[in-house]
Amino acid sequence: MPLQTTPWDVQEFLQTPEDCALYLQAAIDEAGDDSEFIAKTLGDVARSRGMASVARASGLSREGLYKALGEGGNPTFATVLRVIRALGMQLKIEAAIEGT
């Protein structure tokens, strides 16, 4: 009997602000220098909260957000900050532990 699979949709798991924050933090922790991966992850979170409402709250266009936060997107840091704030999150920096 062949293995049956179903498509995995991250949107099903990003139900609360805490889920979204943990998902984004995990992506940042794992991405290394892959900024496109972080942008796509931020796009996943924005879609889970409703891209139109994130666009309104950030003052950016919905189409622009899809382009910036989608595959191959390269958002400016200003866009990233506006989306993070629109999602009700904040960016925090901490010292890296030496040797990690």
What per-residue confidence (pLDDT) applies to 96?
81
What per-residue confidence (pLDDT) applies to 98?
75
The Cα 97–Cα 42 span in angstroms is 25
What distance lies between CA 23 and its chain's CA centroid?
8
- 37 burial type by CB count under 10 A (0-12 exposed, 13-18 middle, 19+ buried): middle
The pLDDT of 9-27, averaged and rounded, is 93
Main-chain dihedrals φ then ψ at residue 12, nearest 5 degrees: -70, -20
What per-residue confidence (pLDDT) applies to 1?
86
* 71 pLDDT higher than 60: yes
Confidence tier at 99 by pLDDT (50, 70, 90): low
The pLDDT of 49-68, averaged and rounded, is 95
Q: What is the DSSP string of the chain?
A: -PPP-----GGGT--SHHHHHHHHHHHHHHHTT-HHHHHHHHHHHHHHH-HHHHHHHHTS-HHHHHHHHSTT----HHHHHHHHHHTT------PPPTT-
Q: Domain coordinates of the chain in residue numbers?
A: 45-88
* 65 pLDDT higher than 60: yes
Model pTM score: 0.86
